[in-house]
């Protein structure tokens, strides 16, 4: 069976194939392999946004805040928790950017656990840059010590490394569930348990996992988590991030950025800050309503399809991508910078080759093949289970092969 026949067979037997037609551009001759950076928009999103402008914003005007906009950050957060995160209601809220949310969570966690004896922050060398920069800045502000885990760029942080790096001086550990470059899927439950064994708290970055893998925050006893909504959740460029705070921490925790929307009565305009009860206290400024409207459509689809089915297709997509890699790219000297076991990776793979440069990806983009580049020589092939076809994967990776021939 040829690769083309394999792709056709996989598409014909894909129980989620019909969801592809819900997305704008899915019928165009484009191989979009960057949904792990920015998801395609849903066709319904244009109607949802137009209806909001016409009926809610245009029709109800300022009354919209009292009628339902103020409730949206937690209402959409609860749906996100239920559909994607494995989180009970009242623990997830939509707010700010991922960077700002992570700052709030890390500072809140430090305030809860840090002491003269617990003055170390643990993170890894391969984490996403904003995560590293944030922790470096917080450590400088607070006079804390950084303990770095030297992660394998082609793998990721292991439970054993976390156990070695944590101890009686550890305050907070910040890790990503999926490594942004390699696609390595960390063992979230086991690592969370290891951090707790050391008496510390854990903050998980779920940017590359929310909407692509089953997570189970409550079941794993995770303390805090944050993530963006413009990748697999299709909220659009700059759509607001989410914050998760486990219910056991909410009664005693304060976040550091006090703003009017996080006050117990935002429109009271009174002197003095009194935080709202529960997860709403993690709001600061005015919520980004437009971004929540866009992501609502994807959350509806996720609930309909189920994260279990989405994860199953994700594993099949990456397995097929590795099959194509072995047939077309490995013989030309390319290397797979991603774990080969589907259970140990997220929904993207990274292919390294000495000839791959940013200019290579720009040329691919010009030909309507759209992956992304990660220095020094990596091309990420990102596969969104609800919108990506197997034929699309083959088409894009064939063109990557052709670029090595050029």
pLDDT digits (tens, 9 = 90+) for 369-385: 999 999 899 999 999 99
CATH number, residue 233:
3.40.640.10
Domain-located, residue 37: no
Boundary-marking domain end, from 303, 338, 373 = 303
Domain-located, residue 78: yes
Query: 230 and 350 share a domain?
Result: no
**What pLDDT does 194 receive?**
98
**What pLDDT does 137 receive?**
98
Domain-located, residue 42: no
Position with higher pLDDT, 233 vs 291:
233
Query: 18 and 71 share a domain?
Result: no
**What pLDDT does 330 receive?**
97
User: Is 329 in a helix, a strand, or coil?
Assistant: helix
In angstroms, the CA 287 to CA 97 distance is: 11
Note if 380 is an active site residue.
yes
In angstroms, the CA 229 to CA 282 distance is: 17
Number of domains in the chain: 2
Nearest residue to 186 via CA among 117, 108, 106, 127: 127
This prediction has a pTM of 0.97
Residue 5, pLDDT > 60, answer: yes
Q: Which residues of 350-362 are buried (b: 16+ CB within 10 A; e: fewer)?
A: bbbbeebeeebbe
In angstroms, the CA 143 to CA 177 distance is: 27
Tens of pLDDT, residues 321-364: 999 999 999 999 999 999 999 999 999 999 999 999 999 999 99
In this structure, are residues 202 and 175 in contact, taking their beta carbons and an 8 Å threshold?
yes
Note if 205 is an active site residue.
yes
Boundary-marking domain end, from 258, 281, 303 = 303
CATH number, residue 347:
3.90.1150.10
Residue 293, pLDDT > 80, answer: yes
User: What H or E segment, with its residue span, contains residue 243?
Assistant: strand 242-245
Domain-located, residue 20: yes
Query: 193 and 337 share a domain?
Result: no
The residue annotated as part of the active site, out of 345, 380, 390, 403, is 380
**What pLDDT does 314 receive?**
98
In angstroms, the CA 137 to CA 164 distance is: 24
Beta strands in 67-221 (DSSP E): 92-94, 120-124, 145-149, 170-176, 201-205
Boundary-marking domain end, from 287, 303, 319 = 303
Query: 106 and 220 share a domain?
Result: yes
Query: 57 and 148 share a domain?
Result: yes
Query: 366 and 223 share a domain?
Result: no
**What pLDDT does 155 receive?**
82
Residue 150 CB-half CA count within 13 A? 0
What does DSSP assign to residue 9?
H
Residue 405, pLDDT > 80, answer: no
Domain-located, residue 43: no
Query: Which whole number is the average pLDDT over 256-273?
Result: 93
Position with higher pLDDT, 252 vs 172:
172
Query: 235 and 314 share a domain?
Result: no
Query: 262 and 369 share a domain?
Result: no
Query: 24 and 58 share a domain?
Result: no
Partnered with residue 145 across adjacent β-strands are: 120
The residue annotated as part of the active site, out of 32, 52, 103, 128, is 128
In angstroms, the CA 101 to CA 326 distance is: 40
The residue annotated as part of the active site, out of 230, 242, 320, 325, is 230
**What pLDDT does 153 receive?**
85
The residue annotated as part of the active site, out of 78, 96, 131, 205, is 205
Domain-located, residue 39: no
The residue annotated as part of the active site, out of 40, 231, 311, 313, is 231
Domain-located, residue 293: yes
Tens of pLDDT, residues 76-131: 999 999 999 999 999 999 999 999 999 999 999 999 997 889 999 999 999 999 99
* Residue-averaged pLDDT of the chain: 96
Query: 359 and 397 share a domain?
Result: yes
Q: Which domain holds residue 399?
A: 3-32+308-405
Query: 26 and 140 share a domain?
Result: no
Query: Which whole number is the average pLDDT over 43-65?
Result: 96
Query: 285 and 344 share a domain?
Result: no
Domain-located, residue 41: no
Note if 231 is an active site residue.
yes
Tens of pLDDT, residues 136-195: 999 999 999 999 999 998 889 999 999 999 999 999 999 999 999 999 999 999 999 999
**What pLDDT does 406 receive?**
53
In angstroms, the CA 270 to CA 268 distance is: 5
Note if 232 is an active site residue.
no
């Amino acid at each position: 069976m040829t690769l083309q026949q394999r792709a056709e067979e996989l598409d014909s037997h894909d129980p989620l194939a019909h969801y592809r037609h819900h997305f704008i551009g899915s019928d165009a001759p484009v191989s979009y392999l960057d949904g792990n950076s920015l998801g395609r928009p849903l066709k319904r999103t244009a109607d949802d946004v137009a209806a909001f402008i016409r009926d809610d914003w245009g029709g109800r005007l300022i009354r919209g805040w009292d009628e339902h906009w103020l409730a949206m950050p937690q209402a959409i957060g609860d749906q996100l928790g239920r559909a994607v995160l494995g989180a009970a209601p009242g623990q997830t809220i939509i707010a700010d950017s991922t960077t700002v949310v992570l700052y709030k969570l890390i500072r809140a966690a430090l305030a809860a656990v840090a002491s003269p004896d617990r003055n170390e922050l643990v993170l890894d060398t391969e984490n996403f840059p904003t995560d590293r920069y944030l922790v470096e800045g917080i450590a400088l502000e607070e006079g804390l010590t950084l303990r770095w885990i030297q992660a394998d760029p082609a793998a990721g942080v292991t439970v054993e490394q976390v156990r070695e790096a944590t101890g009686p001086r550890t305050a907070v550990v910040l890790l990503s569930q999926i490594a942004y470059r390699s696609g390595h899927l960390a063992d979230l439950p086991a690592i969370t348990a290891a951090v707790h064994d050391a008496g510390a708290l854990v903050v998980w970055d779920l940017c590359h996992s929310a909407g692509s893998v089953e997570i189970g925050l409550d079941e794993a006893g995770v303390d805090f988590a944050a993530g963006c909504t413009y990748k697999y959740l299709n909220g659009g460029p700059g759509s607001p991030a989410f914050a998760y705070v486990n219910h056991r921490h909410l009664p005693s925790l304060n976040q550091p950025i006090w703003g009017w929307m996080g006050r117990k009565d935002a429109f009271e305009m009174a002197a003095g800050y009194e935080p709202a009860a529960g997860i709403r206290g993690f709001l600061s400024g005015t919520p980004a309503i437009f971004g929540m409207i866009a992501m609502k459509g994807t959350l509806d689809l996720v609930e309909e399809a189920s994260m279990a089915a989405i994860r199953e297709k994700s594993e099949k997509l990456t397995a097929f991508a590795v099959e194509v890699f072995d047939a077309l790219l490995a013989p030309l000297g390319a290397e797979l910078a991603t774990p080969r076991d589907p259970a140990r990776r997220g929904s993207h793979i990274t292919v390294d080759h000495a000839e791959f440069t940013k200019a290579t990806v720009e040329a691919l983009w010009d030909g309507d093949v759209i992956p992304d580049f990660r220095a020094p020589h990596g091309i990420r092939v990102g596969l969104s289970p609800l919108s990506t076809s197997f034929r699309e994967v083959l088409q894009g990776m064939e063109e990557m092969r052709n670029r090595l021939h050029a």
